[in-house]
Every structure is written in structure tokens, then in C-alpha cells.
């Protein structure tokens, strides 16, 4: 029999091709994230020096509110597109195995048009609803500044997340790298323009920032070309039945994404009100460094997310076996990054200036977050891929509530130290809860299917 038509011989070749493809995707993301890391570092340093701790704290609080609301603004459509597009790839590549899988999409379910409609409507309405509330919360900050910054991040970047979800689901990670690099380059360009013009106030910066976000969104959409067909057929793609289906399916993703963002952004939103804007600025500066250090780990997990979804379609055990191969990389990098940040924190005042002296201490407190969030994201991806986003979302909501309560009690008492302790404790609690959920699900599958689990697991 011809090797090209023999299914027994063809399957290993397809597996090896898939491994090479994922390595290429990770390389693309590493290059894009590496460029973004350098550009974002320059942007952060210039902006922190330009605004100072107090204005930087207010700016970070507005962006934190946007990040918390964004998953509900675009209704989790980015994650939904990744899951459905990757499942469609399984159905095309392995029709026999896909036939037995649960039906999660119909013939038009992977069109991007309805997701764009939902994201546009949701982010626009959410922005209008949050604008007056956030203006009251950040008393003393002009309402126009709050509205402009909130709209720029929530509306425009929310649409960009849908675009990235389509690209990741189609394994077009070069486009994702282009988007990330374009946004980072746009931010650096914006802050350089502000420095050149001498625009050091938050109001002046909000104008530059809003124009930059809009320009980068349009340029990256044009550069990747992934919206060309969808934008040409948006009215025809609109189906109220399909919109309702996607809204329902995307809700669980939105809850999960919001829970993840809560650990990194809720404290930044609460600190200006419950402590001071200066404390929020110092704390936000430390968290920016945490986010920079997570870039390689996020690139790794993003490049493998589509494959995790494909494995998860076969069952949680398959998703676990695949995720177990990634665990040493997540653990190793998370540990090294935690140690590196703790040691490197002593040089922060030389880079950001003497006004950020206390940021070095805050960073040492927060450095374990890199490792905790890496494991947390890997477990969440695995549950999402196996179609268990509902129980995962419930656990994340409980952790979100715990984080909010602890922040509300501890920040007035201990300032940024209370915020750091609330973040660490909530991350540990969520991590343990996810592990217990996975163990219970695997035990059920072991009893029903009488299959052996991967080595090294209970």
C-alpha cells in the first residue's frame, strides 16, 4: 500500500508535522513577544517617568477597570473562536475521531462576523455604563479623561482580542505576533510623541493614547488581513439565533477570563480609592515588571492552546497527558523568573527614578505570582480544552470573590502589602481548587473507562 494513503503510516507523519508546526508557532510568538517585551519595557520606563507615581497610578486604575470588564464586553468571543476553530481542524484532519466527539458547532459556527458584532456592541455598551461609575470612583480625575482612556482600552482592544482569537484558532501565530508587536510599537511611539511635545499631564496623555490605539487597531487588522472577508459580509453574517448561541457559550469563557484578570487588576483599581494614587502607581509599576517576565511563558501556553483543545475534545485524560509535557517548562521558567525578579528588584530605583524606591520591595513580595499564574493558566487551558469551562468558571468566581473580600479588608489596613497578600493567597487557593477538580474528573473517567493515568499523577 502507498505510504501516502496508508492511515497507519500517515498518522505518525501527521503527528510529527503537527509538532513541527507548533514549534514554529512558538518561535513566532517568542519573536513577537520578545520584540514586544523590549518595546514594552521602553514604554513603561518612559511613561512612569513622564507621569510620576500618582498619575501613573490613576492611569493604571483606569486600565485595570478596562481589563476586568473587557471579557464581558466582548463576551469571551476570543476564547470561543479558539476552541471552535481548533475543533473544526480536528474534524477535518480526523473525521472518524471527530464523529464521536460532542457537537459544539454547526456549519456556520466558526464565522467571525457574529463574534465581531457581539464584541462591538458589548464593548461599546460596557464602556458607556462604566464611564460615570469609574469617574465617581476616581474622584478628582476629569470625566473626559476617564472616558477616553476607558473607551480606548475596552472598545478597541476588545475587538483586537477577537481578531487574535481567530488567528490562534487557525494557528496563524505570525499574525498574533504582528498584533502584539504593533501595539507595543504604537505605545512607544505615543509616549515618545508625548515626551517630545512636553505633554506630561494625564489629560494630554489620554488624547495621545486614544489616537494611538485606534491607529494600531486599524493597521494591524489591515496587515493581517484576517477581517477582510468578514467585514465585507457583516450584515449577511448577522444571525440573531447564532448571536444568542455565541453569547451563551461565550459567557463561561468571559467569567474565566475575568477571574484570571481579577488577580492582576482588581488591586490596582482599589488602591487609589482605599489607599492612595501614589501607592497604586508604585504597586502598578511592580506588576508591570511581573507582566513582562510572564511573556515567554504566555507565548508557550498560547502556542499550545489550540492543540490542548484538540486533545481535550478526546477527553480530559488526553488533555492532561499533553499538558503534563508542558508542566516542567512552566515550573522551570516560573521558578527562575521568580528568583530573577527578586534579585533584580534592587536596581529598580536606578531605572525608574528615586520616586519608585518602594516598588523594589513590592516586586519582591509579588514575584511568586509568575509561577502561580503559569500553573493556573495551564490547568485552566486544559479544562477549557476538555469542555469543562463551567466547573472551572465556578471555581474562578469563588476565587474572585475571595480576592475581592481580602483586598477590601486588607488594603485599608496595610496598603499595598494587603493587596499583595490577597493576590498570593487567592492564587494559591485557586490553584489547589483546580487541581482537586482535575483529580476528581480523572478519577471518574478512570472508574468508567478503566484507563490508566499518566505517571506522576496521584
- Interior angle at CA 425, CA 419 and CA 426, nearest 5: 90
The tally of domains found in the chain comes to 1
- The reply to whether 454 falls in a domain is no
DSSP state of 103: -
Candidates 269, 325, 282, 7; CA nearest to 141 is 269
Q: How far is it, in rounded angstroms, from Cα 336 to Cα 125?
A: 42
Q: How far is it, in rounded angstroms, from Cα 81 to Cα 375?
A: 23
- The reply to whether 55 falls in a domain is yes
- 3 has a pLDDT exceeding 60: no
pLDDT digits (tens, 9 = 90+) for 414-438: 999 999 999 999 999 999 999 999 9
pLDDT digits (tens, 9 = 90+) for 31-88: 666 677 788 889 999 999 999 999 999 999 999 999 889 888 888 888 788 877 766 5
Please state, rounded to an integer, the average pLDDT across all residues of the chain.
81
- The reply to whether 70 falls in a domain is yes
Output b/e per residue, 265-299; b: 16+ Cβ within 10 A: bbbbbbbbebbbbbbbbbbbbbbbbbbbbbbbbbb
Q: With beta carbons less than 8 A apart as the criterion, state whether 90 and 310 touch.
A: yes
- 93 has a pLDDT exceeding 80: no
Q: How far is it, in rounded angstroms, from Cα 287 to Cα 164?
A: 24
- The reply to whether 139 falls in a domain is yes
Mean pLDDT to the nearest integer, 404-413: 95
- The reply to whether 228 falls in a domain is yes
- The reply to whether 456 falls in a domain is no
Q: Range of 381's domain? A: 7-449
- 225 has a pLDDT exceeding 90: no
Cα 352 off chain centre by: 26
| Residues 348, 353, 355, 360, Cα dihedral to 10° | 0
- The reply to whether 458 falls in a domain is no
- 134 has a pLDDT exceeding 90: yes
**How many Cβ atoms are within 10 Å of 222's Cβ, its own excluded?**
10
For the record, the C-alpha cell of 298 comes out as 504566555
Candidates 251, 312, 245, 252; CA nearest to 101 is 312
What was the pLDDT predicted at 108? 39
Q: With beta carbons less than 8 A apart as the criterion, state whether 453 and 442 touch.
A: yes
**How many Cβ atoms are within 10 Å of 94's Cβ, its own excluded?**
17
Amino acid at each position: 500500500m502507498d505510504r501516502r494513503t496508508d492511515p497507519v503510516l500517515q498518522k505518525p507523519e501527521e503527528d510529527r508535522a503537527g509538532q513541527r508546526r507548533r514549534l514554529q508557532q512558538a518561535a513566532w510568538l517568542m519573536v513577537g513577544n520578545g520584540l514586544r517585551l523590549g518595546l514594552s519595557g521602553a514604554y513603561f520606563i518612559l511613561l512612569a517617568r513622564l507621569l510620576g507615581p500618582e498619575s501613573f497610578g490613576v492611569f493604571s486604575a483606569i486600565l485595570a477597570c478596562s481589563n476586568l470588564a473587557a471579557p464581558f464586553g466582548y463576551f469571551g468571543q476570543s476564547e470561543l473562536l479558539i476552541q471552535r476553530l481548533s475543533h473544526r481542524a480536528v474534524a477535518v484532519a480526523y473525521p472518524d475521531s471527530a464523529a464521536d466527539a460532542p457537537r459544539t458547532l454547526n456549519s456556520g459556527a466558526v464565522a467571525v462576523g457574529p463574534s465581531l458584532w457581539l464584541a462591538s456592541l458589548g464593548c461599546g455598551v460596557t464602556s458607556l455604563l462604566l464611564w460615570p461609575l469609574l469617574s465617581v470612583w476616581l474622584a478628582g480625575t476629569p470625566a473626559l479623561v476617564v472616558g477616553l482612556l476607558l473607551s480606548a482600552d475596552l472598545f478597541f482592544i476588545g475587538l483586537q482580542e477577537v481578531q487574535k482569537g481567530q488567528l490562534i484558532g487557525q494557528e496563524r501565530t505570525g499574525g498574533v505576533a504582528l498584533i502584539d508587536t504593533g501595539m507595543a510599537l504604537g505605545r512607544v511611539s505615543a509616549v515618545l510623541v508625548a515626551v517630545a511635545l512636553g505633554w506630561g499631564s494625564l489629560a494630554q496623555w489620554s488624547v495621545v493614547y486614544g489616537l494611538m490605539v485606534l491607529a494600531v487597531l486599524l493597521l494591524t487588522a489591515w496587515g493581517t488581513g484576517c477581517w477582510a472577508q468578514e467585514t465585507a459580509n457583516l450584515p449577511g453574517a448577522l444571525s440573531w439565533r447564532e448571536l444568542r448561541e455565541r453569547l451563551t457559550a461565550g459567557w463561561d469563557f468571559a467569567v474565566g477570563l475575568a477571574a484570571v484578570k481579577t488577580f492582576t487588576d482588581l488591586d490596582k483599581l482599589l488602591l487609589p480609592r482605599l489607599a492612595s494614587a501614589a501607592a497604586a502607581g508604585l504597586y502598578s509599576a511592580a506588576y508591570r515588571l511581573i507582566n513582562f517576565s510572564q511573556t515567554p511563558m504566555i507565548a508557550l501556553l498560547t502556542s499550545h492552546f489550540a492543540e490542548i483543545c484538540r486533545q481535550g475534545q478526546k477527553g480530559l485524560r488526553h488533555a492532561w497527558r499533553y499538558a503534563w509535557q508542558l508542566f516542567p517548562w512552566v515550573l522551570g521558567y516560573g521558578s527562575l523568573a521568580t528568583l530573577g525578579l527578586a534579585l533584580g528588584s534592587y536596581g529598580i530605583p536606578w531605572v525608574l527614578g528615586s520616586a519608585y524606591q518602594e516598588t523594589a520591595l513590592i516586586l519582591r513580595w509579588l514575584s511568586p505570582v509568575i509561577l502561580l499564574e503559569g500553573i493556573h493558566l495551564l490547568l485552566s487551558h486544559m479544562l477549557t480544552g476538555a469542555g469543562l469551562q463551567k466547573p472551572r468558571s465556578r471555581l474562578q468566581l469563588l476565587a474572585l470573590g475571595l480576592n475581592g473580600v481580602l483586598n477590601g479588608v486588607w488594603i485599608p489596613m496595610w496598603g499595598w502589602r494587603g493587596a499583595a497578600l490577597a493576590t498570593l493567597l487567592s492564587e494559591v487557593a485557586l490553584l489547589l481548587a483546580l487541581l482537586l477538580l482535575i483529580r476528581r474528573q480523572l478519577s471518574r473517567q478512570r472508574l468508567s473507562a478503566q484507563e490508566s493515568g499518566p505517571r506522576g499523577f496521584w
